Structure 1
Amino acid sequence: MLGVKSIHPANSGPDILLLLLKALISISAPFSPTRLTS
């Protein structure tokens, strides 16, 4: 966590988390559609 905080400013944390979440969803969507719908 310290490494991430030192690289990214605190104010950009939420934006980065959203981008990572969207990336994970877009990557896992084709492979696990049942998990997203449940």
Structure 2
Amino acid sequence: MNKVMLVGRLTRDPELRTLPSGKHVTTFTVATNE
């Protein structure tokens, strides 16, 4: 598993989906200054 730390603001509400395999995926966009 890879780990990433991002600091910023969410530009919209996160979107939670469930894949056909049963795994959960969250999609979100982040605005940063750097």
TM-score, scaled relative to structure 1: 0.15
Higher-strand-fraction structure:
2
Q: Which protein is bigger by CA-based radius of gyration?
A: 1
